[in-house]
Amino acid sequence: MIDKNVYGPWAVIAGGSEGVGASFADQLADAGVNLVLVARKPGPLEETAERIRAKGVEVRTIELDLLDPGALKGIRSVTDGLEVGLLIFNAGANSYGNEFVTADLDRVRGVIDLNITAQLALSHHFGALMKERGRGGIMLVGSLAGYMGQAHMSIYAAAKAFSRVFAEGLWLELREYGVHVLELVLGVTRTPAMERAGLRMDLPGLNVAEPDDVAREGLEHLADGPVWVAGGNQPTAEKRSGFPRDELVSGAHEATKRLLGRT
């Protein structure tokens, strides 16, 4: 069970309306942590908030697009004055199915800005407050895609690689101040976003995780940073970190094509 004396009394979840983000919200509420949920779609956001409030905790919602230049200001308008002990950055845009050189460059920049720029802004703001307070946690939700360059999702994979390396550095900077930093690396997870992307989750031998399971694993290992690979995917992460790169990248490419239904 998460310790609200360390990671409370408030947690901010960016991307907290559905999937893994909603699972984080449920489990933190069970531990008595109040929540600020940030998401772009008002319907799922309010549905999740109402369900969480029934658990007896306070829930505030912020409907906004994290790509908005005023996003941090909007979040601060709700969170300034709250003692936020945990930031979970679960928001992210993917680039599945898009070849880089023919992609719309503005969309490419959007993938980078959401996965990197917005993450940095929230980590910078809340991390400074946690450092001053001498406790807290920052969880950045990553992906196995960040261990290897992949065709038709090269920008997403690169952004997730940045997130993992950033988390390692931030972990070093904040650990002496009692602030835990964790990059929670997910594999294929059965979320609405994955379903909307059209990923094939019925492939033989494919390891598909459930949102509640990976959220629980992440919270249990929040103090075990800087990186935790969830869902039994540690061997895959280790393999993808090896050499020779041409053979590994080419082999993973064939597996990704099957996942995307391109074979």
Q: Could you tell me how far CA 246 lies from the centroid of its own chain?
A: 28
Say if CB 6 and CB 137 are below 8 A apart: yes
Amino acid at 174: L
Residue 191 maps to which CATH number? 3.40.50.720
From 96, 147, 156, 177, active-site residue: 156
Mean pLDDT of 161-172: 98
Give the chain's domain count.
1
pLDDT at 62 over 80: yes
- Tell me whether residue 156 is one of the annotated catalytic residues: yes
pLDDT at 189 over 70: yes
Task: Convert the pLDDT of each residue in 174-187 to its tens digit.
Answer: 999 999 999 999 99
pLDDT at 260 over 70: no
Mean pLDDT of 51-78: 97
Task: Convert the pLDDT of each residue in 96-128 to its tens digit.
Answer: 778 999 999 999 999 999 999 999 999 999 999
Mean pLDDT, the chain, integer:
93
More confident residue, 263 or 54: 54
Among all chains, which residue has been given the structure tokens 């909603």? 22
* Angle (nearest 5°) at CA 230 between 228 and 236: 90
- Range(s) of the domain holding residue 240: 4-259
pLDDT for the residue numbered 254: 82
pLDDT for the residue numbered 190: 86
- When pLDDT is cut at 50, 70 and 90, the band that residue 40 belongs to is very high
Q: What is the dihedral of CA 240, 244, 248, 251, to 10 degrees?
A: -170
* pTM score over 0.75: yes
Mean pLDDT of 80-107: 90
pLDDT for the residue numbered 239: 96
pLDDT at 67 over 90: yes
Q: How many Cβ atoms sit within 10 Å of the Cβ of residue 258?
A: 13
Task: Convert the pLDDT of each residue in 214-241 to its tens digit.
Answer: 999 999 999 999 999 999 999 999 999 9
pLDDT at 194 over 70: no
How big is the chain by its Cα radius of gyration, in Å?
18
Cα(5)–Cα(7) distance, rounded to whole angstroms? 6
pLDDT for the residue numbered 98: 80
Give Cβ neighbours of residue 126 (< 8 Å, ≥ 6 apart).
12, 84, 87, 136, 138
pLDDT for the residue numbered 59: 98
